[in-house]
A and B are shown apart, each in its own frame.
Chain A
Amino acid sequence: MSARTLLFIACLLTTCAHAAEVDGRSIALQCTGCHGTDGNSQGKTPELIGKAYDQLARELKKFGAGRKHPTMMDRVVRSYTWAELKAAAEYFASLDEFARD
């Protein structure tokens, strides 16, 4: 693959949101005051970095369906569309590539 193609793919995979409907990064930035920059939590709030997209999506769906007893996340999830949460989860899932080595 040429560097150009790789760049293109990397953009699709990560943060090239300008073409997309929802900008996962700017949605995700609304979560990081509570979850820490890049989801790298410094406290009891769970980390979002280093988790696969499927796992994040599963947790978010559970909050939305009222199947957990959260203190906060049911309200958070109800304030977004699924497309927005999906894009944010994809963004967090894309970050561990950079941070974990």
Chain B
Amino acid sequence: MTDRRAFLKWLSASGLAACAPPLRASSQAHVVVAGGGFGGATAAKYLRKFNPALKVTLVEPRKELITCPFSNWVIGGLRNIDFITHSYDKLVKHWGVRLLQDRVAGIDAEKKTVRLGGGDLLRYDRLIVSPGIELDFDAIEGYGAGDSEAIPHAYQAAGEQTLNLRRQLESMSDGGVFVISVPLNPYRCPAAPYERASLVANYFKRHKPRSKVIILDAKSRIPEQAHFYRGWQEFYRLGEKDAMLEFVPGPDGAAVSVDAKTRTVLTGEWEEKHKADVLNIIPPNKAGKLASSNGLTDDSGWCPVNPVTSESMLIPGVHVIGDSADMSPLPKSAYGANSQAKNCALAVIDLLQGRSPPEFPGWMNTCYSMLSDHHAVSIMRRYKLDNGKIISVKGGGASPYDTDHAREVSYAISWYRNMIYDTLG
């Protein structure tokens, strides 16, 4: 090793690589992170990576992370559930995050404590909250939380709901109808319902060719619309007499009520009837319950935050990241949550040390959608602050038509591996 290499190694080992001044009392500070999904796990890892002197506690009730990204691959039969199931071990062993398998039951921002489900209190210097979403079970008449066993949503935590939907598709006989109902914006991962419909149609095409997919949508415009329409025409005969996939856009396609017993959805002003053999209702989304029950949400149902630090506009000392935060027009996605989490981790480190932050980089969002088992489309956009408002940066967008979309499938898998690595490992 050269002297410089040895020195740099020492620098990194001693946590001084980011030119932090010699350790101060504040670097022993305690950051509590509530929720170990894409936002929370990334924040916990990067807090420790860039300030190993910090004490970081992650509170997450689930034993493993089962991801929503790639859960559509499981629903479509392209992967099994193990592929999307990940342990928190590396966060603990490699990054030195303290993991409590519990849930945060309450926040006392005055005393700077959180109460755990088990009753214990944890004191924090800064709290980061990333509870994901809650589904609005009051929005569609006849579809409540109690109906999600017979009619899965498969849209909150992946796992049981994902497998439930997959089982129903497997036991459906050929010639059956799969109906998926999509809500208005904003909801997590804008393209995910259309990817799901595509992969179910792909499964039918290969295994149950007389079956059909019907998409009922509350909106009239969908993300990457031209790509989805082209793919649906090419692969599933959209618009033809014997179409395997039918799309009913809003407002006619908006679900008004559900009859759970007969798996029937009524849509639009004319209450048109759609009867399903397998029914998938995605209710409108709102911020996670942890956020809404602790005063972090406003009338919109989402959490207003300072975009640079992710600190709540309503409760100082508490940062909200991921889907719960109102960061519009940044989409609610795993990549977006991961991007916010890293900015937030750096901001929290600076705030605890009383340093002024460097030039703010904005955020990145990318997402791959599968139109069939051999055709993927990507979207990529950077977002920046412009006079305090978040705007998208020119240059990004969906992949061009003539991209090698089969190659994009292998990059989608690589995207997933690296997202998991950047979040948990």
A-B contact pairs, 27 of them (CB 8 A): A10-B8, A14-B19, A15-B18, A23-B361, A25-B18, A30-B363, A30-B382, A33-B364, A33-B415, A33-B422, A36-B421, A37-B421, A40-B421, A42-B420, A43-B414, A43-B415, A43-B416, A44-B410, A45-B411, A71-B403, A72-B380, A75-B395, A75-B396, A79-B380, A79-B396, A98-B12, A98-B17
Q: Interface residues, chain B, CB within 8 Å of chain A?
A: 1, 4-5, 7-9, 11-12, 16-19, 46, 49, 335, 338-339, 342-343, 346, 355-356, 358-364, 366, 378, 380-382, 393-397, 399, 403-404, 407-408, 410-411, 413-422, 425
Residues in A with CB closer than 8 Å to B417 are: 36, 42-43
Query: Which parts of A45-63 form the interface with B (CB within 8 Å)?
Result: 45
Residues in A with CB closer than 8 Å to B413 are: 43-44
- Could you tell me the distance between the alpha carbons of A16 and B21 in the complex, rounded to whole angstroms? 11
Total CB contacts across the A-B interface at under 8 A? 144
Residues in A with CB closer than 8 Å to B17 are: 14-15, 98
Residues in A with CB closer than 8 Å to B393 are: 79
Contact B382 A79 (CB under 8 A): yes
Contact B7 A32 (CB under 8 A): no
**Complex interface bits, A63-101 against B, C-beta within 8 A gives 1, otherwise 0:** 000000001100111111000100000000000011001
Residues in B with CB closer than 8 Å to A79 are: 380-382, 393-396
Residues in B with CB closer than 8 Å to A10 are: 4, 7-8, 11
Partner of A21, one of B1, B8, B359, B422: B359
A49 CB to nearest chain B CB (Å): 12
Contact B421 A30 (CB under 8 A): no
Contact B414 A44 (CB under 8 A): yes
B19 CB to nearest chain A CB (Å): 4
Partner of B378, one of A22, A31, A44, A71: A71
Contact A72 B411 (CB under 8 A): yes
A11 CB to nearest chain B CB (Å): 4
Q: Which of A10, A29, A41 has the most CB of B within 10 A?
A: A29
B419 CB to nearest chain A CB (Å): 5
Partner of B407, one of A7, A31, A40, A71: A71
- Could you tell me the distance between the alpha carbons of A84 and B416 in the complex, rounded to whole angstroms? 25
Find the B residue at minimum CB distance from A12.
Answer: B19
- Could you tell me the distance between the alpha carbons of A101 and B343 in the complex, rounded to whole angstroms? 29
**8 more A-B contacts (CB under 8 A) besides A18-B358, A30-B339, A78-B395?**
A14-B8, A14-B17, A16-B19, A26-B360, A35-B418, A45-B414, A72-B378, A79-B395
